Amino acid sequence: MAGIFGTDGVRARINTGLMRAESVVRLALAAGRWFVDHGQDDDGPNQDGPNQDKKPPLVVIGKDTRLSGYMLESALVAGFSSIGMECKLLGPIPTATVSVMTQKLGAHLGVMVSASHNPHHDNGIKLFGPDGKKLADEIEIEISQLMQGSIALAEAENMGRVRRILDTADIYCDYACETMPDKQIFKGLKVVVDCANGAAYMTAPKTLRALGAEVIALYDEPDGLNINHGCGAVHPEKMAEAVVLHGADVGIALDGDADRLILADETGCIHDGDKVLAVIATAMQEAGTLRPPVVGTLMSNLGLERYLDSRGIAFARAQVGDRYILKMLDGSDASQGEGGNLGGEGSGHILMPDLIPSGDGLMAALQVLKASVTNQKPLSYVLGIYESVPQRLVNLPNVDKAIIDDKQIVSLCQKLTEAFAGEGRILLRPSGTEPLVRVMVEATDSAKLDAVMDELTSALMAVNARLQEAASEG
């Protein structure tokens, strides 16, 4: 993507690059200027024309529990208020709440301060439009361009006011509970929830208890530095161990901003986002509410695709990143027709746009638990919906991202893929959030999978050494 934005907003190590205070102020100035000039009119949100509304433009700002969130929140407020935008601060809250509040309050813009599943020393900024959805690539490019020039500021009497909303946890809980048919639907269930010392440390236990569950909360004591540290959706093994230890019915692991979900059934077996997607797709099909295609990504497991095909559910693959899934779902990707209402990634991002504008891990978990309760089946049965095809992912750091277009690598990938004879896949892609090249190999034959991965990674490292040597000589 052109400009300063990656696949999930702006992200960097704190006090470096775009995560320095002065850079964040500049980003707020540019984003605020864009939305003031292209924001709402008297009929509500509109990203296509100049702002005619006399009310002060509004931005809502949420954050996770990183220590650096205080600094970034203040920098954003400085930028937005100097443009003349009213700021409403939500405090530590799941990303999806920013999306919902942007929509409900009729705001021009929503901002989430978070680096998702990354360690505490990283942070990031995600932007949402008036519809509660992440911004289109074209808008992010224009904001990037605005950052380079002179930005008009407000007159002194038009400076923005700043207010803090104190009941956001209750707002989230009420919203989530309204998606369930019975306010005590989970009465009798024992649930372990790993809050990753992140944004859901209050909302996740509160919501599950409100719905009748007995809750064992893990990693719900954030100190600003322990977010995602050995816990959460990236480290679900401790959650799974706690399920077995406490004899729980299910384990839920969220990430730092609570938009990812990994589950464990009552046996402690861990299930990824592809399994969650299959369960929700099945429930929606049976309820008559599913609008295909279900959208996954290039990384989605072949087992998921085969399972959905067995049920007559069309499946489409988007680029990796929930923004591209949503683009395909909302029909803006013309190649996929009118779009659908369910998508997700194996990493645990689940999108249910009829329910909530952006991905939310706990909301997805509630849908899976509802399927278990409705069918009166344990989670091991519900989540054992299909057998995953063996898949390995290797991250190669410090590798020139141009390597994926190298003729030798392209030729090798083609040869290895043809050797799979339809029973395997290879995918190379640069990370959109980290300095990595990701290598994915998937095959029904585990031994062949390992052999292909070894051959491919060895070739990649050799070609990378050649490219680096050529660059140093040049």
Q: How does pLDDT run across 323-375, given as a tens digit for each residue? A: 889 889 987 554 544 579 999 999 999 999 999 999 999 999 999 999 999 99
Contact 104, 97 (CB under 8 A): no
Contact 241, 268 (CB under 8 A): yes
Contact 60, 105 (CB under 8 A): yes
For the whole model, what pTM was predicted?
0.89
DSSP state of 152: -
- Domains defined for the chain, CATH in brackets: 10-168 (3.40.120.10), 179-270 (3.40.120.10), 271-361+370-383 (3.40.120.10), 391-473 (3.30.310.50)
Q: Would you call 74 a catalytic residue per the annotation?
A: no
| Per-residue pLDDT, 331 | 74
Percent of the chain with pLDDT over 70: 94
Q: What's the average model confidence in pLDDT over 12-31?
A: 96
Q: How far apart are CA 83 and CA 57, in angstroms?
A: 9
Q: What's the average model confidence in pLDDT over 458-467?
A: 89
**In terms of Cα–Cα distance, which of 352, 432, 367 is closest to 132?**
352
| Per-residue pLDDT, 16 | 96
Active-site annotation holder among 68, 81, 116, 347: 116
Q: What share of the chain is helix, strand, coil (3-state, %, to 5)?
A: 40, 20, 40
- What are residue 28's phi and psi, to 5 degrees? -65, -40
As given in the structure block, the two tokens for residue 448 are 């062949």
Question: Quick one: which H or E segment has residue 10?
Answer: strand 10-13
Which tops the pLDDT comparison, 68 or 53? 68
Which three-class secondary structure state does DSSP give residue 292?
coil
DSSP string, 100-124: HHHHHTT-SEEEEE--TTS-TTEEE
Contact 2, 145 (CB under 8 A): no
| Per-residue pLDDT, 308 | 97
The CA-atom distances, in angstroms, between 141 and each of 109, 220, 324 are 16, 37, 16
- CA distance from start to end of the chain: 27
Collect all residues with Cβ–Cβ distance below 8 Å to 212 and sequence separation of at least 6: 183, 184, 185, 186, 187, 188, 189
Q: How far is CA 376 from the centre of its chain?
A: 30
Residue type, 275: K
> CA-based Rg of the chain, rounded to a whole angstrom?
23
Which tops the pLDDT comparison, 41 or 435? 435
Which three-class secondary structure state does DSSP give residue 394?
strand
| Per-residue pLDDT, 52 | 45
User: What is the torsional sign of CA 295, 392, 384, 210?
Assistant: negative
Q: What's the average model confidence in pLDDT over 422-446?
A: 87
Beta pairing class for 315-318 and 270-271: unpaired
| Per-residue pLDDT, 322 | 86
Contact 198, 171 (CB under 8 A): no
Q: How far apart are CA 44 and CA 64, in angstroms?
A: 29
| Per-residue pLDDT, 200 | 97
Q: What's the average model confidence in pLDDT over 54-74?
A: 94
**In terms of Cα–Cα distance, which of 147, 30, 29 is closest to 77?**
29
Residue type, 172: Y
Q: How far is CA 264 from the centre of its chain?
A: 20
Contact 260, 247 (CB under 8 A): no
| Per-residue pLDDT, 80 | 97
Q: How far apart are CA 208 and CA 193, in angstroms?
A: 9
pLDDT of 100 strictly over 90: yes
